[in-house]
Amino acid sequence: MLSDIMESTTDTQREGHESEIVNMVRTSLVDDDAIVRTAAAKAFGTFQEHIGAKAINQTIPTLLEALCQPGERSGTALQALREVMSVRAATVFPVLIPTLIATPVTVFNVRILASLVTVAGNALSKRLTVILNALVNVIEEDKDEELGDALYETLRALLGSIEDPEGLNTLMLLLLGWTKDAAPTRRASACDLFAVFCEVSELDSALYRVDWVRQLISLFDDPEVNVHTAAWKAFDTFIKSIPRKSVANERPAISRPACDYEDN
């Protein structure tokens, strides 16, 4: 209904009624009924088309505040954000990220992020480097077990949600770069994340296989135990993730770096 009104009226006709529209959308987004929330998300999308960033500024902060409330209201707000993301991820997701990865990173925010990345679509690719840097920094520095578990699950959700060539390329270049980092913890993190990617992603990463074989094999001789252990684990997971047909077709290219390693 509200979407129809937005689409069938002019800016002049809506002038002076924006606050009422905002209140209707905000109230409906946190309604207990899923059908109402879905309709409200559609209305939000139409509203945002007409008034731009103002729709986000007047709606999303309210949902973020509701997330922090105890009880069912928090869960409803999360569902509302997922609904909104499903229609306007490209504009809404960038607004949410600074709050969700702000320091100190919390278990609560990390779990919300895990839920939202699954509906981010291509919007995830644009913010992949920022998110991964923030989460990996926490993993490497914070030893809280509950937070560590939440971060691991979020990273699995994130890596499994990358669905376009741009996101894949961003991820591969970032992780390959980290395997050459001066810090041993970052080299190990790169291997760990690549192993997770191999486990959860259905994307075709054939273009990057030779690079990964070469880089992981080079880390077998890393002086840091945690690095070469992570490299071996990643290599094993990586090889097991390659379809049998692909292994047969690409065997010469994949085996060449291994032969070079043995020769040295």
Q: What are the tens digits of pLDDT across the range 42-91?
A: 888 877 777 777 778 888 888 888 887 767 778 888 888 898 888 889 88
Q: Which two tokens stand for residue 243?
A: 């379809």
Q: Identify which has the larger pLDDT, 13 or 182.
A: 182
Measured CA to CA, the distance from residue 201 to residue 33 in angstroms comes to 33
Query: CA nearest 231: which of 261, 191, 196, 197?
Result: 191
What mean pLDDT do residues 173-188 have?
97
Q: Looking at the predicted structure, is the pLDDT value of residue 106 above 80?
A: yes
Query: CA nearest 92: which of 124, 51, 66?
Result: 124
DSSP state of 70: S
**What's the pLDDT at 256?**
55
Measured CA to CA, the distance from residue 186 to residue 164 in angstroms comes to 25
SS3 16: coil
One-letter identity of residue 154: T
Question: Which of 37-41, 181-185, 217-221 is least confident?
Answer: 37-41
Q: What share of the chain has pLDDT > 90, as a percent? A: 52
Rounded alpha-carbon distances, angstroms, from residue 10 to 5, 15, 16: 9, 9, 12
Q: Looking at the predicted structure, is the pLDDT value of residue 263 above 80?
A: no
- The number of angstroms, rounded, from the C-alpha of 160 to the middle of its chain's C-alpha atoms is 8
Query: CA nearest 105: which of 136, 75, 69?
Result: 136
- Helix ranges, 104-224 (H): 107-117, 123-126, 128-141, 145-161, 165-178, 184-200, 209-219
